[in-house]
Amino acid sequence: MNLLASQILERFRAQGLIVDHQGFDPLLQRISPIEECQPGDLVFVDHAKYLERVRSQHPSGVVISEPLGAELLGQPGLAILIAPNVRLAMAILKQAFADRNVRDTEWPPIHPSAIIHDTVTIPVDTIIGPGVVIGRDVRLGERVVVMANVVIEHGASIGSRTVLHPSCVIGYGCQIGADVILKSGCIIGSEGFGFAQDEQRRNYRIPQTGTVIIEDRVIIGANTNIDRATYGCTHIHRGVVIDAMCHLAHNVEVGEDSIICAHTGLSGSTRIGKRVFASGQTGTLDHVHVPDDTFLLHRAGVSSSIKTSGAYAGAPIQPLQQYLKNTAALFKLHEIWTRFKWVEKKLT
């Protein structure tokens, strides 16, 4: 890192990430967790309970809100960098100074074991790891990183600066945008789950011949599967974050900046609005719609479309406040039942 605190302010002030620098101007060498900080470190503080650690462990810099920062003024050798949103500042500064360098590889830029079809043009700044397979007419943007054992089938496209971690599979014809991160084991464009049955309930596969479109700045966690559409496309809009081990079925649509947590399953043709938050193990039936700015909590089970934005929980879902009241009553169910039986006995 090796930057003065004043240099950090200069770099990030224009975007409003860091708005002021108070106190000293030491050299900052590392970004550290507050529990392990020492002189030379930059830490992030978003709660008063961490102030004493700053005083006792003497980091050289702290990113902090203005009210909390005022309590550290005068701390010897400490640079106080004021951030309106400390957690956002942590995200951007760690990306800039403490992130993994995915372009740092022990192999040649294009590993000799990679199998690349003759029709594919490889930009000069692309990284392609061992065991990669890239099919016919694949299009790669600038500064793409394709790690070990990734498979990109024919006709797929990968946008600039996208990173494909080991063992991802990109199905034929799928479109991946720019600045996308697909973590290890993602499968994009697997065949959707579509079957028909005859009178004896024997199953007949319905070919899933659509595609998957993933827009810019999407992050998808390890071992998540996104099925290709039956017709048309499964569509993940820009800025979406999907956790590990999720399953999005054919023709699902997820709106901009939504967050889908681990083990969530979205059935076919589910439509998720913008800025929706789905906590772990959320599930939907097919063809339901979830409106913008909705929160799905406590293993939410969405069995029919939600008409009004808000917070919902449980299975089947209830408005959050109703769910909390019902959950509290559930813990007294045996007591209520015992009292009811007693009253019933007295009345009969």
Structure tokens at 138: 């694949």
Burial class (CB in 10 A: 0-12, 13-18, 19+), 105: middle
Question: CB-based contacts of 291: which residues, under 8 Å, 6+ apart?
Answer: 273, 276, 306, 307, 308, 309
CB atoms near residue 220 (< 10 Å): 28
Structure tokens at 321: 């406040």
Map residue 70 onto helix, strand or coil.
helix
DSSP bridge partners of 295 = 277, 311
Residues 3-97: name the CATH superfamily.
Answer: MurE/MurF, N-terminal domain (3.40.1390.10)
- Report helix angle 320-330 to 333-347, nearest 10: 70
What confidence score (pLDDT) does residue 210 get?
97
What confidence score (pLDDT) does residue 280 get?
96
CB burial readout 155-188, b (16+ within 10 A) else e: bbbbbbbbbbbbbbbbbbbbbbbbbbbbbbbbbb
**Every domain of the chain and the residues it spans:** 3-97, 115-325
The pTM for the full model equals 0.93
CB atoms near residue 305 (< 10 Å): 14
pLDDT tens-digit readout, 111-156: 999 999 999 999 989 999 999 999 999 999 999 999 999 999 999 9
**143, 160 in Cβ contact below 8 A?**
yes
What confidence score (pLDDT) does residue 232 get?
96
Q: Which residue ranges in the chain fall short of pLDDT 70?
A: none
What confidence score (pLDDT) does residue 54 get?
97
Catalytic sites, residue numbers: 250
DSSP bridge partners of 43 = 62
Strands (E), 181-287: 181-182, 187-190, 195-197, 203-205, 211-214, 219-220, 225-227, 233-236, 241-242, 247-248, 253-254, 259-260, 265-266, 271-272, 277-278, 283-284
The DSSP-derived string for 277-295 is EE-TT-EE-TT-EE-TT-E
Q: Looking at the domain that runs over 115-325, which CATH code has it been given?
A: 2.160.10.10
Question: CB-based contacts of 255: which residues, under 8 Å, 6+ apart?
Answer: 237, 240, 272, 273, 274, 275, 276, 292
What confidence score (pLDDT) does residue 337 get?
86
What confidence score (pLDDT) does residue 27 get?
97
**174, 192 in Cβ contact below 8 A?**
no
Biggest CA-to-CA distance, the chain: 88
Measure Cα distances from 13 to 19, 23, 24, 77, 95 in Å.
5, 17, 18, 22, 16
What confidence score (pLDDT) does residue 331 get?
87
**145, 165 in Cβ contact below 8 A?**
no
pLDDT tens-digit readout, 268-317: 999 999 999 999 999 999 999 999 999 999 999 999 999 999 999 999 99
| Phi, psi values for residue 108, rounded to 5° | -60, 155
Map residue 92 onto helix, strand or coil.
helix
Q: What is the distance between the alpha carbons of residues 133 and 152, in angstroms, rounded to a whole number? A: 6
What confidence score (pLDDT) does residue 329 get?
87
Map residue 12 onto helix, strand or coil.
helix
What confidence score (pLDDT) does residue 348 get?
77
Question: CB-based contacts of 207: which residues, under 8 Å, 6+ apart?
Answer: 191, 194
Q: What is the distance between the alpha carbons of residues 38 and 223, in angstroms, rounded to a whole number? A: 37
What confidence score (pLDDT) does residue 332 get?
86
**Nearest C-alpha neighbor of 81 from the set 189, 168, 173, 5:** 5
What confidence score (pLDDT) does residue 236 get?
98
Q: What is the distance between the alpha carbons of residues 147 and 142, in angstroms, rounded to a whole number? A: 15
What confidence score (pLDDT) does residue 70 get?
96
